[in-house]
Structure 1
Amino acid sequence: MYTSTLLLTLGGNDSSVDNANTNLAVNPLYDLPKSKWWMQADRGCDAVPPPKGEFLELPAGKSFMTELANNRAFTTLSYKGELTTEWQDGKNRSMPWRGPEGGCLMDGGDGSGGELHTKNIESTGGTAWAISSPFFRETWYDVPADMPACPEEGCYCAWLWIPDGCGQPNMYMQNHRCKVTGSTSTKKLGKPKPPVYCRDNPTKCVPGPKQMMAWNQAEGNNVNPPNGKTPTYNQRMGFMDGAQDDIFVDE
């Protein structure tokens, strides 16, 4: 999804052009060497940072809102927001919206499910330090209260998603330059471990900080779910909803 924050490649991979109708940053990653999927280097996103001094601000212990869309055109960053709706693809749907039961998710009853990559709002996932639902365009993320401050030049953050549906089993990674605001904690981030599929046995869930998941790439994979299962950023891989407050260690 297109996250309307200070995204690398916000207007495309040509820094001389501000493309209001780009979906470059939202295309999935599949079967790539790590040098290509990391920071979306395969499409040049690693080479087009946000303007100097601009950051995605993460308020420690609070929440922030971002827009998720499958094209910049459907966010308030393009066309004065005239193409935006409650949904990520600029369409309108009746609620409660649900995709078909069983099998592949293609279209819902209104013929518009393919863009959502999920059957309903309960089956969606989020990120490694804050879990939320990428279902509507406006989505809120809770920032852990103990999130430490970034250096002056900022931190590198990524929005991550692995869709649970049919089609190509790929993953998404979007890059941001970020900084933490209002940080007063002296705690540090712990050393993350690869998460483990634990839906059927919660005792197998990896506690504490967990790595981002690399899946179905040519290089750098760190998760190995059972055959036919998708590693998603939710309880099945040990990620609980909301701020991930167990990722810190005392200094």
Structure 2
Amino acid sequence: MLQPMRPSYLALALLLLPVTSFAHLALWDPGMYGFDGNITGVVNFNNNVPVLPLKAINNLTVSQWFGNGQMGFPPAEGVFMELPAGSTYHGEIACNRGLTSHRDPRIAGEAMLEHPCQTVGPMHTVLNFGEAVNASLLGGCALSIAYESDVTKLKPSDFTVISTNSTCGWWRETDFEIPADLPACPEGGCHCGWNWIHTAGNYNAEGRGEGYGAEMNDLKYRCKITGSSKTTAEVSIAAGQIANECAGDSSKCTAGAKQPHYWSQLDGNNNFASDLNPPLHNMNYGFSNGAQTDIFIYSTVIDPTTTIAVEPTTAAAEATTTADSIPTTTTPPLLLNSIQSSSSSSSALSSSKPSTSIRPSSPSSTLTSSSPTSSNSSNTSLTSISALRKTTNAQCRRRKSTTSSTLATRSMHRRRKRSHEGSSWGSWGW
């Protein structure tokens, strides 16, 4: 009776198997669901399960095709696909994990392929190795993101495309430009997706086409944004819309955030194009090559400790100018006090029968003649104030002189009266 292999022996057996290539590709990253294979506790360096395509003839439901059926095999704890905001994610696309830098470390020194696979057939293209790259004969692929860390809450519609590569599927080393304004992920990280649908209906000079057309790949990753200077309070990603076909007419393209294509499955599709005209992640559907920068919603955040300088309004400026100048209908406080004091003194002097009545000159005429009538109102006002001060001082000196003279006159009258009364009393014998 055969004894079951221990895990260590099983892993070694898998390592010794030749690298196998299936029809289709995968973007390999340690943060991928299914990265180590679909045998729990075993690291399969020869893993090719995630590359298996999701074919229309398999009639897969959403729960079966979402994440290429690998959502039950999460990445190692604490491991994330890391996407640098405003920089480039350097990915590796291949038909087998063993054809990437994530292969068994014991063969790390061996040369690696320039292309994703050992032969061109599994890459589903009519191009041949050694030919110039023609992006129109490649379908392009997309990186997408969902700001949700709980894998049980994820839905296909949660994902928004953040970057595309129009020559995806031709080179093993494939770069994705990451938008600079992507905010940091929540504490448990985000989830990212890689979606690829190859072209169909083309044939090369040898008569070779792309092969079976109605299929796609939909891989998922636990991911995070690194080097971000944004928070979700400042910027968020708009909900992805379904992308319209707009080949030859850009006015029909869907503007802004877009979902990846989900196509040719039993349910959960967001695109229903024909098998010979599959939906692609390129300009035929409004996906520009590189970072997608039209996907953001920005919020205005004001730091409460920031002092904001506000220019005065026209009305405020006029009010300030008026307050700084002397109005023509208002008596300045200095002159008003002088007038009130002069009025009191005049009343007292009248009751004592002063020989002369002194009245101050009218301030209104002085102010009117000095009031501002042009843009030089400030200088005119200052001149008026100086003139008023001189007039007031002169009036005060004259009033003081008059008051002294009046008092001297009253004193003389009293002395004369006493002298007269004294002589009268003496002659009358009182």
Q: TM-score range by the shorter chain?
A: 0.7 to 0.9
* TM-score in terms of structure 1 length: 0.85
Q: CA deviation at 1:113?
A: 2.8
Q: 1:171 aligns with which of 216, 219, 222?
A: 216
Given the alignment of the two structures, is residue 190 of structure 1 paired with residue 238 of structure 2, yes or no?
yes
Q: What does the per-residue CA deviation read over 1:143-184, in whole Å, with 9 as the maximum and x for residues that have no partner? A: 011111111111110111011133141010111110001111
CA–CA separation in structure 2 for the residues paired with 1:83 and 1:173: 29
Evaluate the alpha carbon distance shift between residue 18 and residue 136 of structure 1 in structure 2; reply closer, same or farther with a 3 A threshold.
Answer: same
Following TM superposition, by how much is the alpha carbon of 1:3 offset from its aligned partner in structure 2, in angstroms? 2.1
Conservation of the 8 A alpha-carbon contact between 1:225 and 1:231: yes
1:234 alignment counterpart: 282
Q: What is the aligned partner in structure 2 of residue 146 from structure 1?
A: 181
Q: Are the equivalent residues in 2 in contact too, given 1:196–1:225 (CA < 8 A)?
A: no
Distance 1:29 1:201 in 2: 30
Residue 117 of structure 1, aligned match among 95, 102, 124: 124
Determine helix, strand or coil for the equivalent of 2:176.
Answer: strand
The structure-2 alpha-carbon separation of the partners of 1:19 and 1:227, relative to structure 1 and needing over 3 Å to count, comes to: closer
- 1:131 matched to 2:164? The reply is yes
Residues 60 and 114 of structure 1: is their aligned pair in 2 closer, same or farther, counting only changes over 3 Å?
same
User: How far does the alpha carbon of each residue in 1:105-129 deviate from its partner, in whole angstroms, 9 at most, with x for none?
Assistant: xxxxxxx431221234313302021
Alignment correspondent of 2:27: 3
Post-superposition shift, 1:14?
A: 1.4
Match among 161, 165, 168 for residue 196 of structure 2: 161
Q: Secondary structure at the match of 1:236?
A: helix
In the TM superposition, what whole-angstrom CA distance separates every residue of 1:43-76 from its partner, at most 9, and x where no partner exists? xx11111111111111101001011000111111
SS of equivalent to 2:277? coil
Aligned residue number for residue 250 of structure 2: 202
Quote the Cα distance in structure 2 between the aligned partners of 1:226 and 1:218. Answer: 14
TM-score, normalization by structure 2: 0.51
Aligned-residue RMSD, C-alpha: 1.6
Q: CA separation in 2, counterparts of 1:162 and 1:2? A: 11
Q: Which amino acid aligns with 2:180?
A: A
Residues of 2 paired with 1:68 and 1:159: CA distance? 11
Shift in Å at residue 2 of structure 1?
2.7
Matched, 1:74 2:99: yes
| Map of 2:76 onto structure 1 | 51
- Paired residue secondary structure (2:71): helix
Whether the 8 Å CA contact 1:130–1:141 is kept in 2: the answer is: yes
Consecutive unaligned residues in structure 1, runs of 5 or more: 92-111
- 1 CA distance for matches of 2:96 and 2:68? 16
CA contact 2:213–2:275 (8 Å) conserved in 1: no
Distance of 1:153 and 1:146 partners within structure 2: 20
Change (3 A) 1:167 1:60: same
Displacement after TM superposition at 1:226 (Å):
5.9
Q: Distance in 2 between matches of 1:37 and 1:199?
A: 28
SS in structure 2 at match of 1:171 = strand
| Corresponding residue of 2:50 | 25
**Percent identity of equivalent pairs:** 34
2:264 touches 2:272 (CA, 8 Å); kept in 1? no
Give the match's secondary structure for 1:37: helix
Runs of 4+ in 1 over 4 A off after TM superposition: none
Change beyond 3 A, Cα 1:189–1:19: same
Q: For the Cα contact (< 8 Å) 1:9–1:25, is it kept in 2? A: yes
Higher helix share: 2
Distance in 2 between the 1:213 and 1:68 partners? 19
Deviations 1:72-107 (A, max 9, x none): 111111133436211111x3xxxxxxxxxxxxxxxx
Q: CA deviation at 1:40?
A: 2.2
Cα deviation, residue 227, structure 1? 7.0
